[in-house]
Structure 1
Amino acid sequence: MAIGYRLQSNPLVGKLTTKYFLPLGTRQVGDDVVFFNFGYEEDPPMGLTLAASDEPNRYCIQLYHVTASQVDLTGKKVLEVSCGAGGGASYIMRNLGPASYTGLDLNPASIDKCRERHQLSGLEFVQGDAQNLPFPDESFDAVINVEASHQYPNFPGFLQEVARVLRPGGHFLYTDSRRAPVVAEWEAALAGAPLRKISERDIDKEAKRGLDANTRRTQQQISGRLPGFMNSLIRYGVGVLDWDLRRSGGFSYRVYHFAKD
């Protein structure tokens, strides 16, 4: 199952959410929740071929696929920063051929769930901070980051860390969104990173389709499973994000490919 929502907020709210609400939510929603992103769908539909076990998470998997498949990951050593519930890590490891895949997340409850659920050869999960990555310099061929960086208090610091752990010739495969008032700040941080931009694509419409599909599925599947305040939080978050996406210029959602020279 996929949860296609999240609250964009200031760094303090993001830190409190990660420290308190996400561990609680992770433990409450159950083992079948393996994604926490908007999702992605094209028009006509993308039609990505999936295993039957992956089909319930189609829209979230498609977002991971379009992000990670910007380069050939076959035989590569890959790091995902903010891996969440590990669904993307599992999909990429099973389908895109990396030699190894490390999923890192600040939420210890998520890491515990990942280790229990996603037991694949070459796949490991580590608890740690995106802005202080616990890895040596030049450790990875690719770094993946999906719909998480809006919560980092020090986004430029995160980009510095990505560049540090990437090997020369390595790739940063990245997708996220920002509200209109902070898009210029976002762009400036990306332009100032010690990485070379290969490509950039707006996926506002595709993310909106994914959000709509995931919202319907999520509300049907977990509405009776969470405490009342968590259900209210979901309804509020989905409503705010849907409003932001509908209003003109409310959101900019993009997928990027950067390289380290």
Structure 2
Amino acid sequence: MSLISRVIATPAWKVFAQYYYPFLTRHGADDVAFLNLGYEESPPMAVPLSASDETDRYCIQLYHRVATQTDLTGKKVLEVSCGHGGGASYLVRSMRPASYTGLDLNPAGIAICRKTHQLPGLEFVCGDAENLPFDDGSFDAVVNVEASHCYPSLPRFFAEAARVLRPGGHLLYTDVRRFDHYAEWESALTDAPMRMAGKEIISENVVRGLMKSLPRSQHMFTRRTPPLLHGPVRAAVAASNAKICRGLQTGETSYRMYCLVKD
């Protein structure tokens, strides 16, 4: 969770993210399936989950909310920046696409995905969000969750997403930005070669998810640290989460969800 607080606070976050994710994978997060923030509604979503998924409920609910902007049943789906593959695994099992391809620039993460998430119709490939290694019109939907803040060129990603989508295909997209990047963000979305079919500011829902998932975050960061350090680490994680929540509540940052359609 501390990644996002750094992402929205430093001008060098793009370079930072390029090296941070492989480091995170290799040094303690190889068994963490989700790297995104959480999501919860009021009243609670109560998405039916298996016992093995319950620990990741609030991360899963963000994927669920983004993906259900359209029907993925029987569709060919690409997830750009799939992280450690938890979202891909959940969507394959719950949304029943015909096929699902997870792509990520982090080779260590892709290795984890291939080892951990072995399901029919699910594959993982290493690749660049701004130079997708697929033919034109290859997919019915592209999923992108909390990743585009790491891309050097957001317009380039939108162009590539549109290229690999079939006519009528959907880009199901969500991410966070600081207030001083709102105009640039909206401009890239307006100029994208797709029609905007849905937009929602979900900052309050992400705050709820973060608050609910704090114990998970604390466990994630303490499970491999000496017991003597558990207290300080738990306190640091709580402080980091609180800072993210304050930013979302005050409008310093905004978490938004979009659905774009290729006509």
Under a length normalisation based on structure 1, what TM-score does the superposition of the two structures give?
A: 0.90
Would you say 1:242 and 2:245 are equivalent positions?
A: yes
Which of structure 1's runs of 4+ aligned residues deviate more than 4 A? 9-12, 231-237
Would you say 1:255 and 2:257 are equivalent positions?
A: yes
Q: CA deviation at 1:12?
A: 4.4
Q: CA deviation at 1:239?
A: 5.2
SS of match in other structure, 1:199: strand
1:31 touches 1:117 (CA, 8 Å); kept in 2? no
Would you say 1:60 and 2:62 are equivalent positions?
A: no
Cα deviation 1:159-203 (Å, max 9, x = unaligned): 000001101111110111111111111011000000001111111
- Letter of the structure 2 residue corresponding to residue 13 of structure 1: W
SS of match in other structure, 2:245: helix
2:139 touches 2:169 (CA, 8 Å); kept in 1? yes
SS of match in other structure, 1:29: coil
Q: CA deviation at 1:237?
A: 5.0
2:214 touches 2:238 (CA, 8 Å); kept in 1? no
Q: CA deviation at 1:32?
A: 3.3
- Letter of the structure 2 residue corresponding to residue 188 of structure 1: S
Partner of 2:136: 137
Q: CA deviation at 1:41?
A: 0.3
1:203 touches 1:254 (CA, 8 Å); kept in 2? yes
Number of residue pairs matched? 255
Partner of 2:15: 15
| Alignment map for 1:41-80 (pairs within 5 Å) | 41-80=40-79
1:93 touches 1:101 (CA, 8 Å); kept in 2? yes
SS of match in other structure, 2:160: helix
| Alignment map for 1:1-261 (pairs within 5 Å) | 6=4, 7-9=6-8, 12-18=12-18, 20-225=19-224, 238=241, 240-246=243-249, 248-261=250-263
User: What is the RMSD of the two structures over their aligned residues, measured on CA atoms?
Assistant: 2.2
Alignment gaps of 5+ in structure 1: none
Q: How far apart are the structure 2 equivalents of 1:46 and 1:162?
A: 29
- Letter of the structure 2 residue corresponding to residue 14 of structure 1: K
SS of match in other structure, 1:53: helix
Moved more, 104-113 or 208-217: 208-217
Under a length normalisation based on structure 2, what TM-score does the superposition of the two structures give?
A: 0.90
Moved more, 21-30 or 82-91: 21-30
Q: How far apart are the structure 2 equivalents of 1:72 and 1:30?
A: 32
1:90 touches 1:118 (CA, 8 Å); kept in 2? yes
Identity %: 55
SS of match in other structure, 1:39: coil
Q: How far apart are the structure 2 equivalents of 1:102 and 1:12?
A: 30
